[in-house]
Amino acid sequence: MSRIEGLLQAYAQFVAQPWPETLAGAEKVWFAVYEPSQERRLLLRIAEFEAATKKAGHGWKRLDIADLFAQWMAGHRYREAYFEDPEAMELALGDFAQSVVSHVREALTAPDADVNTVVAVSGVGSLFGLARASDIIERSKSAIRGRLLVFFPGKYEDARYRLLDARDGWNYLAVPITAKNED
């Protein structure tokens, strides 16, 4: 069985469990953790995660944030200056992070994202070096009505998450879903 198949099976079992109603926002976040090298395989199987969610009686809404930086940069009035001097962009990255938060919060509060809906965010690896995934989630958690599923290319070890296996991890209350079902 492939790692993505194992992750899909673990997710299908997890999403079918009863959803407690009294959780705080941070406790409504699920991280589907997989090896970064498996990104393409995972993306090819997103529809199966959706099917498992619907089979369990829940709604599904997907947000792919992979292209958000390109869209944000294309619309930025100083983009040419940033291409000439990328280090000058450092101060503007806070605006980019806020833009990502706005997109995530918009998906979480959309009319079709109720208390019975999984809002699935893919493309999180595209944030690396530009914005911190932990910050985006922290600033979005109060808008979660159902569940926020983050497809997370990285590692979960010792109750710490590491995006793309590169940074020191952060401890977060999110529920890890792994192919090994180590949660």
Q: For 148-152, 155-159, 165-169, which range has the lowest pLDDT when averaged over its residues?
A: 165-169
Cβ atoms of 113 and 145 closer than 8 Å: yes
* Alpha-carbon span 182 to 121, nearest angstrom: 22
* Alpha-carbon span 77 to 176, nearest angstrom: 39
CA distances for 135 relative to 83, 141, 155, angstroms: 25, 10, 17
Instruction: Write down the mean pLDDT value for the chain.
Output: 88
User: What pLDDT is recorded for position 87?
Assistant: 79
Rounded to an integer, the average pLDDT of 97-105 is 96
pLDDT score of 37 more than 50: yes
* Alpha-carbon span 44 to 64, nearest angstrom: 13
pLDDT score of 80 more than 90: no
pLDDT score of 182 more than 50: no
User: What pLDDT is recorded for position 86?
Assistant: 75
- CA quadruple 25, 138, 174, 53: dihedral positive or negative? positive
